[in-house]
Homo-oligomer: A and B are copies of this chain.
Amino acid sequence: MYRKIRMGMIGGGPGSFIGGVHRMAATLDGKIELVCGCFSSSPEKSKETGKALLLPPDRVYASWQEMIEKEAALPEDVRMDFVSIVTPNHVHFAPAMMALEKGFHVSLDKPMTFTLDEARQLAAKVKETGKLFLLTHTYTGYPMVKEARARVARGELGKIRRIYVEYPQGWLYNDRIAGNKQAEWRVDPQRAGKAGCMGDIGTHAFNLAEYITGLKATEICGELKTFVPGRLLDDDGAALIRYEGGARGVLMASVIAIGCENSLRIRVFGEKGGLEWAQEEPNTLYMRWPDRPMEVIRTSTPYVSPIAAYNTRIPAGHPEGYLEAFANLYRNFATALGALIAGEEPTPESLDFPSAEEGVRGMQFIETIVSTGDTDKKWLKL
């Protein structure tokens, strides 16, 4: 296909952090170009952002409804191929549904929707329309996360017994967040949904554990907690998790772990070996063995798995970071999309990105862990 994939964006206006990340990530590999957008619920701000992004004014829209409508009416060789939705959680479901119905592929920030029910409807719609759907669980885009998954899959660790996954952040340790747009909506139940910390980052941790181990969580025993006075949503929590096959997990997430940055970390122990990966040192995967030295697996070395190599751009020792991990999601999505557009079968590697199923799992996790506060029952089925 001798052209770039065309992306439209909903959200990502002034004050947005994730909008710019999506744009850098999507365009890093030269396979995607931003062609249109509705960047804010304020038409003025949308226009302003569109201008800063050097977009033609007629492709900057005042509302997402208008954008989807008008883009659908454009000629096939002009209109966007997919829409990237990077709004707060309460504006995920409606634009995603409309985009799918109007024939667009969709990239959607996590968590998938506001409620589990919406997630299920959306997943059904994805299935029904046959469109590609990307849920941007960024951390699964790291090469060493894929390496970890590949090693578990080929049995290097043996049967999995124990999973520790943790995600401490400290940025919301107090209530002085006025003016921080990112912070504000994340602690507002009207925009974030039923869960705060657990919805925002707990879902990443939950997803990472299932992605790497290939195991599904079956039961949860957890507790959410709100430490900052006056806050309406959880800002901390932990859970014991039972996985299929008998593995046991602990999941910890916090936005009041003062002084922590973005410290997602996972450890998995099986009958034959163990692994450890931490997001802040993402190009290193530690493999532990009972009777020989720990091995330090590094991105872009000759010995990594094909899937890790496929998701790497530069030589070993040249750190790839968060944007490259994010870009892997988009590049794989765009590669698969390019194949679809060209009438070809997407390769398995290109289809290695989180999708609607992961989105539904995430919403199940949120609903379940939120329920732990309403009951004395120890274990809740997922």
Q: With a CB–CB cut-off of 8 A, which chain B residues contact A378?
A: 221, 376-378
| A160-203 interface code vs B (CB 8 A; 1 in, 0 out) | 01101010111101100000000000000000000000000000
Return chain B residues, CB-CB under 8 Å to A239: 240
A288 at the interface (CB under 8 A from B): yes
Q: A-side binding surface: helix, strand, loop or mixed?
A: loop
Stretch among A23-31, A69-77, A79-87, A102-110 lining the B interface: A23-31
Q: Does chain B have a CB within 8 A of A358?
A: no
Kindly state whether residue A101 has any CB partner on chain B within 8 Å: no
Number of copies: 4
The smallest C-beta distance from A301 to any residue of chain B, in angstroms, reads 7
Flag if B377 contacts A294 (CB, 8 Å). Answer: no
Q: Range of interface residues on chain A?
A: 35 or more
- Using known A-B contacts A236-B161, A258-B269, A313-B20, determine if residue A297 contacts B293 with beta carbons closer than 8 Å: yes
**Are the C-beta atoms of A319 and B24 separated by less than 8 Å?**
no
B317 x A319 contact (CB < 8 A): no
Interface segment, one of A126-134, A210-218, A273-281: A273-281
Contacts of A376 in B (CB 8 A): 377-378
User: Which of A164, A269, A320 has the most B CB atoms < 10 Å from its CB?
Assistant: A269
Least Cβ–Cβ distance between A337 and chain B, in angstroms: 15
Bound CA–CA A273/B174 (angstroms): 12
Given A162-B254, A162-B256, A256-B162, the answer on whether A316 and B261 have CB atoms closer than 8 Å is: yes
Stretch from A8-16, A40-48, A116-124, A222-230 at the B interface = A222-230
Please state if A24 and B17 are interface contacts (CB–CB under 8 Å): no
Interface residue stretch chosen among A60-68, A321-329, A348-356: A321-329
Question: Is residue A232 within 8 Å, beta carbon to beta carbon, of the partner chain?
Answer: no
How many angstroms between the C-alpha atoms of A4 and B59 in the bound complex? 17
- Contact status A240-B256, CB under 8 Å: no
Q: Does A298 contact B (CB under 8 A)?
A: yes
Question: Residue A271 contacts which of B173, B222, B238, B301 (CB distance < 8 angstroms)?
Answer: B173
Give bound CA distance, A96 to B322, whole Å.
34
Q: Please tell me if the beta carbons of A288 and B170 are within 8 angstroms of each other in the complex.
A: yes
Write 10 A-B pairs (CB below 8 A) sorted by A numbering.
A24-B28, A30-B54, A222-B240, A279-B317, A280-B283, A294-B296, A314-B323, A321-B324, A323-B323, A377-B378
Q: A281-B281, A321-B321 are in contact. List 15 more A-B contacts (CB 8 A).
A: A17-B315, A161-B236, A168-B269, A221-B223, A221-B240, A223-B248, A238-B248, A257-B267, A258-B290, A259-B269, A259-B289, A279-B317, A294-B298, A295-B295, A323-B324
